[in-house]
Structure 1
Amino acid sequence: MNKILPLLFLLVFPFQIYAQTVPYRIFNLQGEEVSFEQMAEEAAEKQVVLFGELHNNSIAHWLQLQLLKSLHERGEGLVFGGEFFEADDQLSLDEWFGDLINEKNLEAEVKLWNNYQTDYKPLVQYAKSNDIPFVATNVPRKYASAVSRGGLEVLEDFSEEAKLFIAPLPIEIDRELPGYVGMKEMMHGSHMNAEHMVAAQALKDATMAYFILKGLDGMEQFYHINGSYHSNNYEGIVWYLKHYEEGLSIMTITVEEKGVMDIDEETRAKANFIIVLPTDSPKSY
């Protein structure tokens, strides 16, 4: 017996160490573990791919870049875009992509997220270097802020020029969607108006969906980066994509950080593919 225990230790211990050092695992909708290549292959067949991220997770951003490279290598007609640029930054982005202004000018003029340099810049630079069109999809934050204070009706008071950077009005909201209901519940007791905050969230979802569809026009595929809460459970952006255009083929990806690198039934239902990362995976902030 004394000889058997050390043998069992040697057999089991390496697997425990391995399990703790796996940087990510990917699961499909059926809960089966799949490879990155399998996920990329399925993504290549869809018109819209939504990669729902945790904004500060460095491994997730690296995987986003690998998927961008894979989709680019697999076919033509790819458009790339993301929540991390607002729609009114598009002119400056187009000027930079067209080599009319330099990168320093671009970064001085657009509204950069605090982790742009480490997490998003490699994606945008790859797109520019490979002539992949880029679309800034997010609503300008000043309009979302106005809605969070006064509701969607305040948008009617803005100029026609301002309305070019938001989804067409009026914006319909399904306030019974579980994500919006959950948002209201989380705000219970807050001094902020929960209905207006849901409207601001819906404005972001609708605007991103609207600009995805505009960018997709005449192209084969749109690959989009957004916070996972904008596409989890096939709500948010997904709901508006289907609302604006029936019959789109859409694939969603979500990212989860877990102490145990596995998924349960609730997590499995969030997206077509679930990327599970360790809770101690590297963060940019």
Structure 2
Amino acid sequence: MTTYSHTLAILACLLFAGCSSLPASNQEVVPPQTQYDSIIADDKGRLLSINQLAEKLTPADVVVIGEYHGHHAAHLLQSLVQSSLYQQRPRQVLSMEQFTLDDQSQLDRYLSGKSGEEELIADTGAWPNYKASYRPLIEFSKKRNIPVIAANAPADIVRCVGRTGEAYLDGLHASQRQRLPEAPFFDTPAYRRKFFDTLGGGHGETDNSKRLENSYKAQLLRDNTMADRVIRALEENPEHQVIHLTGTFHSEDRLGMVAVLEKKRPDLDVAVISPVFWHSGDDLDSLLKAHRGKGDFLYFLQPLPEEYKDNERHRDAIMEQFRNADDLSCD
């Protein structure tokens, strides 16, 4: 057994053991002590172990697990939920925001043993945290012949919509356009308010507001594409349960891709699991009261480290991202 596998096994055992004898009341709950720890609760505030969570998730057609990208506790929980649910419903499909439609053929090659991991990473442009965060989920699926769906919209198309607006799709070749949702920008007023409030945008006619509007359309393209891919996965794999991994903004409060999914397929049983940071001084009761509506189940975890102390360096990093995006041609 490798050092990594041994460490993951120990962490899994600790998590299962720690959740198997839950405190009698929420007042006794100790906050997450490490970046691997999570505390799980249902929408009534009852604490759950991974196995108990899986039992409650078993009837769902779709399980959406929101994440804070790169958070070790989030990715450990995703892996443990996947394996525990597999014991309940082995007919499983894994759907991932972290790969785009363009990556599906390379992902299938890897899952079928026709390419190696470094080839997968290079050929798909996998996220930098692939090995630490998503490798366990992909390997679990590979060894059990579980289909894995590359669910996100192509990155270059998303960037160009974000730069030029929704009309960019009108100029796509028919073969490119037909892969995307027929209605790619479905949204809800609540999601729009949340997006603009989060990014601090106005609704005037300034260049900044237009850019923000285009960014919102790019966000909607991601959400609608992911929802369509989940629906297709269910159609192509009858009686299967789909586990979909995505950034929490795409799913919490049942907005984003969840709202699209439920609009297009109101018959589906969709369960949403959302992360919440447990800051110093917080207690479980107040966190539950403030965040209960974010999901059917919540998992609490330590905040991520602050990325920047120097505001000027933070601004420079953001501007560098914009410069890199501007290098892409949308002609």
TM-score by length of 1: 0.86
* Partner-residue secondary structure (3-state), 1:143: helix
Specify whether residues 26 and 110 from structure 1 end up closer, same or farther in structure 2 by C-alpha distance, changes over 3 A only. Answer: same
1:277 aligns with 2:301: yes
What amino acid is aligned across from residue 196 of structure 1 in structure 2? N
- For residue 157 of structure 2, the aligned residue among 127, 143, 147 is 143
Aligned equivalents of 1:102, 1:172: Cα separation in 2: 36
- For residue 198 of structure 1, the aligned residue among 212, 216, 223 is 216
How many angstroms does 1:17 deviate by?
A: 10
Matches within 5 A, 1:120-269: 120-168=134-182, 170-177=183-190, 179-185=191-197, 186-188=199-201, 191=208, 193-217=211-235, 218-219=237-238, 220-259=240-279, 260-262=282-284, 263-269=287-293
- For residue 112 of structure 2, the aligned residue among 81, 98, 104 is 98
How many angstroms does 1:172 deviate by?
A: 4.2
Aligned equivalents of 1:131, 1:47: Cα separation in 2: 19
The answer on whether the counterparts of 1:140 and 1:165 sit within 8 Å (CA) in structure 2 is no
1:79 aligns with 2:79: no
Specify whether residues 20 and 204 from structure 1 end up closer, same or farther in structure 2 by C-alpha distance, changes over 3 A only. Answer: closer
Aligned equivalents of 1:261, 1:53: Cα separation in 2: 21
* Partner-residue secondary structure (3-state), 1:269: helix
* Partner-residue secondary structure (3-state), 1:100: coil
How many angstroms does 1:40 deviate by?
A: 1.0
Structure 1: 5+ residue runs without aligned partners?
A: 1-14
2:14 is matched with: none
* Partner-residue secondary structure (3-state), 2:271: strand
1:107 aligns with 2:124: no
Specify whether residues 261 and 240 from structure 1 end up closer, same or farther in structure 2 by C-alpha distance, changes over 3 A only. Answer: same
Tell me whether 94-103 or 114-123 shows the greater mean CA deviation.
94-103
**How far does the alpha carbon of each residue in 1:74-94 deviate from its partner, in whole angstroms, 9 at most, with x for none?**
123210111011111000111
Aligned equivalents of 1:37, 1:101: Cα separation in 2: 34
How many angstroms does 1:44 deviate by?
A: 1.4
The answer on whether the counterparts of 1:187 and 1:194 sit within 8 Å (CA) in structure 2 is no
What amino acid is aligned across from residue 277 of structure 2 in structure 1? E
Aligned equivalents of 2:271, 2:39: Cα separation in 1: 18
Aligned equivalents of 2:283, 2:126: Cα separation in 1: 32
> Percent of aligned pairs with the same residue?
26
How many angstroms does 1:150 deviate by?
A: 2.1
The answer on whether the counterparts of 2:277 and 2:300 sit within 8 Å (CA) in structure 1 is yes
Aligned equivalents of 2:30, 2:259: Cα separation in 1: 39
The answer on whether the counterparts of 2:226 and 2:257 sit within 8 Å (CA) in structure 1 is yes
Aligned equivalents of 1:242, 1:20: Cα separation in 2: 33
How many angstroms does 1:174 deviate by?
A: 3.0
Aligned equivalents of 2:158, 2:185: Cα separation in 1: 15
**How far does the alpha carbon of each residue in 1:148-176 deviate from its partner, in whole angstroms, 9 at most, with x for none?**
122222112111222244222x3343351
How many angstroms does 1:236 deviate by?
A: 0.6
What amino acid is aligned across from residue 135 of structure 1 in structure 2? I
Specify whether residues 157 and 57 from structure 1 end up closer, same or farther in structure 2 by C-alpha distance, changes over 3 A only. Answer: same
What amino acid is aligned across from residue 222 of structure 1 in structure 2? V
* Partner-residue secondary structure (3-state), 2:192: helix
Aligned equivalents of 1:55, 1:147: Cα separation in 2: 23
Aligned equivalents of 1:121, 1:195: Cα separation in 2: 35
The answer on whether the counterparts of 1:148 and 1:199 sit within 8 Å (CA) in structure 2 is yes
Specify whether residues 20 and 182 from structure 1 end up closer, same or farther in structure 2 by C-alpha distance, changes over 3 A only. Answer: closer
How many angstroms does 1:257 deviate by?
A: 1.3
How many angstroms does 1:139 deviate by?
A: 0.7
Q: How many residues get paired?
A: 266
TM-score by length of 2: 0.75
What amino acid is aligned across from residue 159 of structure 2 in structure 1? S
**How far does the alpha carbon of each residue in 1:39-84 deviate from its partner, in whole angstroms, 9 at most, with x for none?**
1111111000000000121011011001110111212321011101
Aligned equivalents of 1:241, 1:175: Cα separation in 2: 12
Specify whether residues 105 and 181 from structure 1 end up closer, same or farther in structure 2 by C-alpha distance, changes over 3 A only. Answer: same
* Partner-residue secondary structure (3-state), 2:245: strand
What amino acid is aligned across from residue 245 of structure 1 in structure 2? R
